[in-house]
Amino acid sequence: MHPFSIASVRRVGVVGRYNTPGIAKPLKRLVAFLAARGLDVMLETDTAALTKMRDHPTAGVAELGGAVDMVIVVGGDGTMLAIARQVASYRVPLIGINQGRLGFLTDIALTEMETALAAMLDGQLVVEERMLLHASIVRAGVELIEGLAFNDVVINRGGIGGMIELSVGIGDSYVCDLRADGVIVATPTGSTAYAMSANGPIVHPSVRAWSLVPISPHALTNRPIVIGDGEQVTITVTRSREAAMHWDGQLHHDLVEGDQVRIDAAPFSVRLLHPQGYDYYAMLRRKLHWSESPLSLKAGRPRPGDR
């Protein structure tokens, strides 16, 4: 794993959340700021079309990772998930500017964009590595499709209704048969997303592990389990009228009885950059309103320890 130095950044890729009202203005602010710092800017193709900025080179997302030293994403966590999967193999670091709703990954507010970025470009930053999952569908011994997930891989029942039945294996071991609405296989990043809603554990991003979380299991003794990242999980669809698999809720593929889903850790990680002083637990308190009473939430009082 190559160490990262902000001093090596010369060209910055800029990506904006597609088709979002009002996003062109902060994107133009961002590009002007970066140019004033003496950095070369490359715009993602759709971002350039959205903002009508024609003074900078452009590239599609698939090519952006190999052409820049850093990528700044303006949008929400969904935008960050989509971009991170496509540039992670290049080991390009990402910074998230939040124009979404919650912002676990895009953690810099628009109102603080220039101030936060100026400090980060001066070396006041935190570098964080986040693991990815690689998942494929195998049917009758043939791989149909494969892809990466930053948050989670989800296997669930379709719209017809009724539970699906799955057989779960980890490494060479048979683990269990599961009758449920589905199962979530989540990275530490995804542990605060769908997996948390299904009563899965929150896993710190520094932990190289992932969670298997049943969705509404028929047997209440089927509980979430956390495993090390060196394992491979194999989930076989043993009975289902309709089922599907989802990568980060953004890529989808139908499943039929007999299909195997094979999941392991990707050989590379996502590199995120945060402002200096970034604290994962403070972020959880802020986003999940821990240590709050209903009265303090209503009054909008600051939380102890928040930065």
What single-letter DSSP state applies at residue 56? S
Catalytic residue among 40, 46, 69, 77: 77
Examine the residue annotation and report whether 264 is marked as an active-site residue of this protein: no
- Residue 83 and residue 64: Cα distance in Å, rounded? 10
Q: How far is CA 161 from CA 120, 184, 247, in A?
A: 49, 18, 21
- 251: closest CA among 164, 165, 146, 180? 146
Instruction: Indicate the DSSP class of residue 301.
Output: P
CA dist., res. 200 & res. 225, Å (int): 8
Which SS3 state, helix, strand or coil, does residue 13 take?
A: strand
Q: How far apart are CA 64 and CA 123, in angstroms?
A: 23
Does residue 274 sit in helix, strand or coil? strand
Residues with a catalytic annotation lie at 77
